[in-house]
Each structure stands twice: as C-alpha cells, then as structure tokens.
Amino acid sequence: MREETLEKLEKYPNLKKYSLSFEKTGGREEVDGFLPYLVIWFRDLFEKAGIDDSEVPIICDMDDETAEDFWSWGHNSRYANTFTYWLVSDVDFAVNMALEIIENNNLVNFDPDIEEQIEQERKR
C-alpha cells in the first residue's frame, strides 16, 4: 500500500493490520473456515453503512464482468470468491473507498475487531 494510505490508517488500527495482512498473504484467510479478516471487515462496513449487496459492485466500481460474477453467487460465496479477488487487485483503492464510506456515513469510530468476532464465533 502507498505510504499516504498507510498514514490515513493510523486512526483505524484494525483496518491497517487486516489490509497489510491481506496484501502480504495475497488474500488468503487467516483462520481456516473463515473469510479473510479484511473481507469480513468490509462486510461489516457495508452492513453498518446500510449498503446492500446489490449496491456493492457499483460502490466498488467493479467492471461489468466482475459485477455480474459478484451477483451470480450466493451471499457468502460472492465475498469468498469475487469480492476477495477484487480486493487482491487493488487493496489501496479499496481501503481508500472504505475510508470515504466511513466519512460519508459519519462512522468515525468504526473499526471492528474481526479477530475477536471470530473468537466469539468459534466459542459457540
């Protein structure tokens, strides 16, 4: 990621950590059986901002082919396959888009701890 983007992430330590991990691993999941932390983080952001899955390809500026692929999958599969692939192609763009969504929706303190969420899920 660009240094400029990394500086913006100082206020969002979880997003920074998950973005760097995602970039380093090429989008592989950190915990077997779960989506990559960054993908889960984005799903939480979309939910918190009231962004429906039908709007995701538009907001993410996906090309027509990628958008069609995204919509063709079921809910979890579209994130495991198409969205993860889209994120791998340009993490920097995606992170800056996320920061705009946070700002535009006044979600200033939004930075969920996905590791904690997964830990809670695994205890169930």
Tell me the pTM: 0.95
Q: How long is the chain? A: 124
- 63-87 pLDDT, tens digit per residue, is 999 999 999 999 889 999 999 999 9
- 1-33 pLDDT, tens digit per residue, is 899 999 999 999 999 999 999 999 999 999 999
E-strand stretches of 2-68: none
36 vs 104: CA distance, rounded Å: 25
- 94-104 pLDDT, tens digit per residue, is 999 999 999 99
CB 14 within 8 A of CB 41: yes
What sign results for the dihedral spanned by CA atoms 16, 53, 34, 27?
A: negative
